[in-house]
Structure 1
Amino acid sequence: MELRFVPQEEIDRQLYDSCVHFATNGSIYGYHWFLNATAKDWDVLVEGDEWVSVMPLPRSKNWWGRQRLEQPGLIPELAVYSVRPLSPTRIQAFWDAIPAEFRGGELTVEPASVPAAPGRFKVHRAAGEALFLDQPYETLVAGFGPDYFNRLQLAEAAGLRPASSFKPERLADLWLETQGRSATNEWQYHAMQRIMYQVLHRSWGGTQAVQDATGELLAMVFIAYSHGRIFPLFRVESVQGRSVGAMTYLWDQLLRTHAGKNLKIKREDLW
């Protein structure tokens, strides 16, 4: 297996994105534009001249100037993306091929990309259970706990209803308002908007929102569709929204409109 290290400035974006797109474990988080919006520096390990497998290596430097792997903000999981079988041998080969100048660090990756021997790195297995939506709505919610239905009753009593779509700035503004201003939140505020506009440019998703009887927005989610999966990239719920089950109502509307479709979402993303 021929693996080579490709620095950020030499990455062939077309070949790289093509691998992520057609990979058996592809994900929206792996595309170059998502990484560019969240990771200042990243390189890639590549298998083959046609880039049949790729492993993004987001990196940072510590106080002594030593490079280390670092999970980018807003990216919950990465992977060894491959159009070939994800055998343990292939996965281990990628982790073993990370250049020696990467002195340590940690990444969270999807389960199939976790190596048997992580060596000098801390490797975390991304958590989450897939909820397959190709079922009737009643079947999808049958296993949900009583709190889900109690919050739905609150939402119905409050007269909540779906809201029309809106620009990413509105979601980001409410998010920053609820989270408060800090250097980290200011960075995330702008990164969120860059990503949302990239998704809109590709017509891969948009906003979902809930409002009260007066038209005030109480909960918002920006979702993207990629690789047969729904990714709730960003969400925000106001204090008033939390008191009347606005986010639960939003997810329930999404389940009703997507039930029976060949899609999946992480069950944990619904809470």
Structure 2
Amino acid sequence: MDIRFIPQEDIDKQLYNSCVHFATNGSLYGYDWYLNATAKEWDLLVEGDNYVSAMPLPKRRNWLGRTYLTQPTLVPDLAVYSVKPLSPKRIQAFWDAIPEAYRGGELTVEPASVPKDSGRFTVTQAEGSALFLNQAYESITDGFPPDYYSRMARSEAADLLPVPNLKPEAFAEFWLSVHGESPENDWKFHAMQRIMYQILHRSWGNAAGIQTRDGELLAVSFNAYSHGRIFPLFRAVSKAGEAAGAMTLLYDTLLRSHAGRSLKIERFAEFVTE
């Protein structure tokens, strides 16, 4: 199997993004522009001259200059992306091909990309299940826990209003006001805006919210659409929003508007049980 190491500056972006786009396990998180906004430093392993398979290697260096794999912030999971069958042999070959210069480290990957032998690396399988929307709204929500309906009742009593489109700046300002300022959150504040503008430029998503009749913003979520999935990338809800069930209403609105379509929502369980 012809697997080559390519440093970040030599990556053919068109070939790489094409691989991620058409891969059987393709994901929004794999695109070069998403990694540039999150990992910043990353290299690549590729199979074949046309990048039929590719594995991004996000990295960090310690104070001695040694290189380690590291999970980028705002990236739940990565993968060995491939338009070919994801056989255990192919997955293992990629992990075995990581250069010795990578002394160790850890990475979270989607289930099919977990190797049998992780060697010097700590490999974590991504958790969370997807919710399929190819049914009527009533069928989708039939098995939701009672607390979901209690929160919906609170939101109806509060007479809240949906905000279908928010500017990235307004979204990020609200997110920061909820999560608080810190060096890490300040970094996320800027990274989120870079990602949101990239997605809006491609018409792949939108920032939505819930507000009161007086215009007070209570909850926000940025949803991206890619690979037949809805990715709820970033979200925030104020204390007043929690009391009023605003986040539940926000996602229930998403369910109602997409029910019956051939889509699935990534990691929806955490929102159902919130």
Q: Report the TM range for the smaller structure's normalisation.
A: over 0.9
Q: Superposition pairs for residues 137-152 of structure 1, below 5 Å?
A: 137-152=137-152
Mapped to 2, the partners of 1:90 and 1:164 lie a distance apart of: 43
1:245-270: CA deviations, max 9, x gaps? 00000011100000000000133353
CA contact (8 A) 1:45 1:98 kept: yes
CA contact (8 A) 1:8 1:42 kept: yes
Mapped to 2, the partners of 1:59 and 1:215 lie a distance apart of: 43
Q: Residue type of the partner of 1:223? A: N
Mapped to 2, the partners of 1:202 and 1:165 lie a distance apart of: 16
CA contact (8 A) 1:3 1:45 kept: yes
Q: Superposition pairs for residues 114-129 of structure 1, below 5 Å?
A: 114-129=114-129
Q: Provide the residue aligned with 2:57 in structure 1.
A: 57
The DSSP-based 3-state class of the residue aligned with 2:71 is: coil
Does residue 1:234 correspond to 2:234, yes or no? yes
Q: Superposition pairs for residues 240-251 of structure 1, below 5 Å?
A: 240-251=240-251
The DSSP-based 3-state class of the residue aligned with 1:95 is: helix
| Offset, 1:163 | 1.4
Q: Residue type of the partner of 1:116? A: K
CA contact (8 A) 1:232 1:269 kept: no
Q: Residue type of the partner of 2:49? A: D
Does residue 1:207 correspond to 2:191, yes or no? no
1:201-252: CA deviations, max 9, x gaps? 0000111111112121111101000000000111111111011100000011
| Offset, 1:27 | 0.3
Moved over 3 A (4+): none
Q: Superposition pairs for residues 164-243 of structure 1, below 5 Å?
A: 164-243=164-243
After superposing the two structures, state which structure 1 stretch, 11-20 or 258-267, moved more: 258-267
Does residue 1:79 correspond to 2:79, yes or no? yes
Q: TM-score, normalised by structure 1?
A: 0.98
The DSSP-based 3-state class of the residue aligned with 2:56 is: strand
Mapped to 1, the partners of 2:55 and 2:175 lie a distance apart of: 31
Mapped to 1, the partners of 2:69 and 2:118 lie a distance apart of: 12
Q: Provide the residue aligned with 2:19 in structure 1.
A: 19
The DSSP-based 3-state class of the residue aligned with 1:135 is: coil
Q: Provide the residue aligned with 2:101 in structure 1.
A: 101
1:22-46: CA deviations, max 9, x gaps? 0000000000000000012100000
CA contact (8 A) 1:67 1:103 kept: yes
Q: Provide the residue aligned with 1:90 in structure 2.
A: 90
The DSSP-based 3-state class of the residue aligned with 2:118 is: coil
Q: Residue type of the partner of 2:241? A: G
Does residue 1:40 correspond to 2:23, yes or no? no
CA contact (8 A) 1:135 1:261 kept: yes
Contiguous gaps of at least 5 residues in structure 1: none
1:149-187: CA deviations, max 9, x gaps? 000000000001211312101110011111111111111
RMSD of equivalent CA atoms: 0.8
Q: Residue type of the partner of 1:268? A: A
Q: TM-score, normalised by structure 2?
A: 0.97
1:91-138: CA deviations, max 9, x gaps? 000000000010000000000000010000000000011211000001
Identity among equivalent pairs (%): 63
